[in-house]
Structure 1
Amino acid sequence: MYFWNIDALKRDFLQGRFSQTQAFYYLVVMLVLFTLPIAIVGENTSVWDKALFWVELAFVVLGTTFIYKSNGGRDGREFLERYVSLSWVVFIRLLPLIILFGIIVSISRDIFIGDADYSFTVYDFAAVILIDFIYYWRLSHHMADLSQASVSGVQLSGEN
């Protein structure tokens, strides 16, 4: 992995030496860095805020690793292209569920906690974990479908 030498990285691309494994490593490091701001907590944080950081970090690393393997691992093709593109569509498809969970969590918080100042609760935590699980599960499923179709030459069906 290069951290500063962009010319060497560009040479690797041009000479066909940039592998799917290298793409995976760059993606995982980038996603971990994007997840780190969750750890920046103020004075009014709950135990659920702190727990969410560690669970999100685990989902990013383990979920992305699972998706990488679903794509065929080091023998997979177009990992980054597939990951980014499929992630977008899976996210858009999950958006109604995310909104529904947000409404349910908000109502649950009002019923069981009342009008207290907002803080991240077990309801929020459970909803985020469930959404994360569904997201990585569906993304892995679609990545595996695409990978199997690429290897076998089989046409994909019109299924969701």
Structure 2
Amino acid sequence: MYFWNIDALKRDFLQERFSQTQAFYYLVLMLVLFTLPIGVLGDNTTVWDKASLWAELALVVFGTTAAYKSNGGRDGRQFLERYVALSWVLFIRLLPLVILLGIIASIFREIFIGDAGYSFTGYDFAAVVLIGFFYYWRLSHHMGDLSQENFSGVQLGAEN
């Protein structure tokens, strides 16, 4: 894994020495670094703020690992391409669920806690974990579908 030497990385690409395992490591590291600012920029005033950071980090690492293994691991094909493209469509499809769970968490917060202001509560934490778990579960499922030789869930040549 390269951290600074971009010419060596480009050489690996040109010589077709960049593997699916390397793509997996770069992706996990990038996702962890994108997730860390949640804890740094958040209030960190409640235990739920801190728990959310650690839950998000765990979901990113374990969920991406599950997707990588579902894609066939080191023997898989097009991991990064599949991960990014499937993630986008899955995100769009889950957006109504995210909005619904956000509304439900807000209602529970208002009923049981009252005026919590903008502080993160256990209800918010539960919604975030539930959405994250469901997201990575479905992503792994779809990655696994693509890694099967005789996947019949998609008709080849059909436009969607």
Counterparts of residues 3-14 of structure 1 (less than 5 Å): 3-14=3-14
5+ long unaligned stretches in structure 2: 156-160
CA distance in 1 between counterparts of 2:128 and 2:80 reads 24
Instruction: Report the Cα offset of residue 109 of structure 1.
Output: 1.0
Letter matched to residue 112 of structure 1: F
Cα pair distance change 1:30/1:42, threshold 3 Å: closer
Matched, 1:24 2:24: yes
Q: Which residue of structure 2 lines up, in the alignment, with residue 98 of structure 1?
A: 98
TM-score between the two structures when normalised by the length of structure 2: 0.92
Q: Which residue of structure 1 lines up, in the alignment, with residue 70 of structure 2?
A: 70
Cα pair distance change 1:40/1:16, threshold 3 Å: same
TM-score between the two structures when normalised by the length of structure 1: 0.92
Counterparts of residues 26-45 of structure 1 (less than 5 Å): 26-40=26-40, 45=45
Cα pair distance change 1:43/1:155, threshold 3 Å: closer
The worse-fitting range, judged by mean Cα deviation, of 33-42 and 88-97 is: 33-42
5+ long unaligned stretches in structure 1: none
Cα pair distance change 1:156/1:43, threshold 3 Å: closer
Letter matched to residue 74 of structure 2: R
Cα pair distance change 1:155/1:4, threshold 3 Å: same
Q: Which residue of structure 2 lines up, in the alignment, with residue 156 of structure 1?
A: 153
CA distance in 1 between counterparts of 2:89 and 2:142 reads 10
4+ residue runs over 4 A deviation:
41-44
Q: Number of aligned residue pairs: give it.
A: 155
CA RMSD of aligned residues (A): 1.4
Instruction: Report the Cα offset of residue 104 of structure 1.
Output: 0.7
The worse-fitting range, judged by mean Cα deviation, of 136-145 and 43-52 is: 43-52
Q: Determine what percentage of the aligned residue pairs are the same residue.
A: 77
CA distance in 2 between counterparts of 1:15 and 1:43 reads 46
Letter matched to residue 69 of structure 1: K
